Amino acid sequence: MLRLFFVSIRRSKFHMSSVVFVIVCILTVYVSNIEASSSVISTPFSVGSRSILRSIDRDRADKPDYAVELNATDFDAVLKETPATYAIVEFFAHWCPACRNYKPQYEKVAKLFNGADAVHPGIILMTRVDCALKINTNLCDKFSVGHYPMLLWGPPSKFVSGSWDPKQDKSEICSIDDGRTADRLLNWINKKINSSYALDDKKYEHEHFHTNASDPGQIVRAIYDVEEATSTAFDIILDHKMIKSETRASLVKFFQLLVVHHPSRRCRKGTAKILVDFDDVSANKESPIVGEKVALRNYQICGKDVPRGYWMFCRGSKKETRGFSCGLWVLLHSVSVRVDDGESHMAFTTICDFIHNFFICEECRQHFYDMCSSVSNPFKKARDFVLWLWDAHNKVNKRLMKEEASAETGDPKFPKIIWPPRQLCPSCYLNKNSKDNDNTQIHWDHDEVYRFLIRYYGEKLTTLYKDKELLTDRRPDVMLSEDLIASSHAVVVPVGAALAIAVASCAFGALACYWRQQQKSRKPRKSWN
């Protein structure tokens, strides 16, 4: 073959330098191909959802792809670790012209769902596998790839060590039969999961722009941010060595509150584990703080998938806005609507102590401390506590409205408002024509506000919450009800799951009681009792 090549060159009287040029070109292409495939092989995605996101971002610096290219070495790991509920895998061949033409269409959709700037993160992981690479031959065979490009849809976990056959009736993986253009693919997705995504969706702008008003559709995503905030708070506490002899009791009290009333089951479970071992892991007398930090690092307060490294409901339009402080508020409100009358004052003091000892923003701590200190009578009703927290948050909003306007430090897409705005809860407003951004002029119907908060931070927050781990392991009705067991005010529980709830409640309750007993003797640094 090579001899034929040189003979034909000689015959065609090519200049020698042209020959050298052609050979160099061929070698360059060959070497770069080897490099490309070996870099894919030698740098598989490390496990962990944050690493997946980082890899997506890193890759994008070299080539602006949103869909994640996988191969046989990282396929299972990435699909196992992704926090997304669904996955799409495009099987293609790099030499296939139709696949090359299709790529921009697929990328348009992937841009909505993949990467740190995604408009709808955490819902669908969009991937591709090059079946023309030898390393992927078995993988493509397992999924019966018969043409290029071929798109499969399913829960990510079903792809892990999985297979697909078009004749299989009951597989949760299915072929996307109409995804030839970006529009058609998105239509297919919308039909499949009953959504209304559009290719021109922008980062929450269409929903929140200048009002924050259409929160109801978004609040269901906030459950992820509540988990993210819990986990981030835990990391901050450890990173800044904030567990000291005078703050320890306040943290334990806060954990006890979370064990029973956190809206996410996996955070309740993770917190319970930490509580059970808390004294043991902090028993290192030689160097208590270092010992504690190192040991507590091994605990994942909301499970192995959290923190994910990004925010959904609390995403700012700028990197430095919203995020953790927003997530922390949502955590506090979602806990507040779940406590009973008898626990309301304890929950109040616990939250006050926690913010005072562990919220690293000095100004915020101080303001919140002042508001806590101004409460003279103990709360007897959960309603009073819920409304107090709502009012305290509005006081902060009001102060920040002015500050952010003059210093331009706020998020332009999420200006502070007195909350809830009229669009979100018309019945919360008694007077029709008040200036809605002036809390002093609004006459609130407090019963309606309370009902609204219970709904919003109770059942709505957890509406779409599906713990993937539990979904795959257990019956969905049990999973859902266990997720909501702490929502004592707001939730209608399927009868069949009542037993599971009772057992889980007793376990968490017993743990909390045990710890309450143990900690009775401990005194927080400052308490509002």
User: Scanning residues 330 to 359, which ones bind ligand FAD (CB under 6 A)?
Assistant: 330, 333, 355
CB of 239 to ligand FAD, least distance (A): 18
Find the angle CA(68)-CA(70)-CA(74) to the nearest 5 degrees.
120
CB of 333 to ligand FAD, least distance (A): 5
Nearer to ligand FAD, 114 or 212 (CB): 212
CB of 456 to ligand FAD, least distance (A): 8
Contact 333, 219 (CB under 8 A): no
DSSP code per residue over 389-444: HHHHHHHHHHHHHHHHHHH--S-TTS----SS-TTT-GGGBSSTT--TT-TTT--B
Q: Is the peptide bond preceding residue 64 cis, with omega within 30 degrees of 0?
A: no
Which of 419, 508, 515, 528 contacts ligand FAD by CB under 6 A? 419
Stretch of 85-93, 178-186, 320-328, 374-382 lying at the interface with ligand FAD (CB under 6 A): 320-328
The yes or no reply on residue 322 touching ligand FAD (CB under 6 A) is: yes
The yes or no reply on residue 442 touching ligand FAD (CB under 6 A) is: no
How long a stretch of residues is the chain? Answer: 529
What b/e readout covers 405-425, taking b as 16+ CB neighbours within 10 angstroms?
eeeeebbebbbbbbbbbbebb
The yes or no reply on residue 213 touching ligand FAD (CB under 6 A) is: no
Q: Is the peptide bond preceding residue 412 cis, with omega within 30 degrees of 0?
A: no
Q: By rule CB under 6 A, what string of x and - marks binding of each residue 361-400 to ligand FAD? A: --xx--xx---------------------x--xx-xx--x
The yes or no reply on residue 232 touching ligand FAD (CB under 6 A) is: no
372 is catalytic: no
Q: What is the rounded radius of gyration, in angstroms, for the C-alpha atoms of the chain?
A: 28
Nearest Cα residue to 87 out of 116, 61, 109: 109
| Encoded tokens for 312 | 């959904």
Residue type, 217: G
Which of 123, 328, 504, 512 contacts ligand FAD by CB under 6 A? 328
Stretch of 62-70, 97-105, 318-326, 482-490 lying at the interface with ligand FAD (CB under 6 A): 318-326
> Cα separations (Å) of 16 from 11, 22, 470?
12, 10, 68
The yes or no reply on residue 329 touching ligand FAD (CB under 6 A) is: yes
Contact 306, 269 (CB under 8 A): no
Task: Please give the Cα distance from 481 to 492 (Å, whole number).
Answer: 9
99 is catalytic: yes
The yes or no reply on residue 425 touching ligand FAD (CB under 6 A) is: no
CB of 310 to ligand FAD, least distance (A): 15
The yes or no reply on residue 512 touching ligand FAD (CB under 6 A) is: no
Nearer to ligand FAD, 401 or 507 (CB): 401
CB of 390 to ligand FAD, least distance (A): 4
Phi, psi dihedral angles at 69 (to 5 degrees): -80, 125
Nearer to ligand FAD, 221 or 293 (CB): 221
Interacting residue ranges for ligand FAD, rule: CB under 6 A: 212, 215, 314, 322, 325-326, 328-330, 333, 355, 363-364, 367-368, 390, 393-394, 396-397, 400, 411, 414, 419
Q: Which residues are catalytic?
A: 96, 99
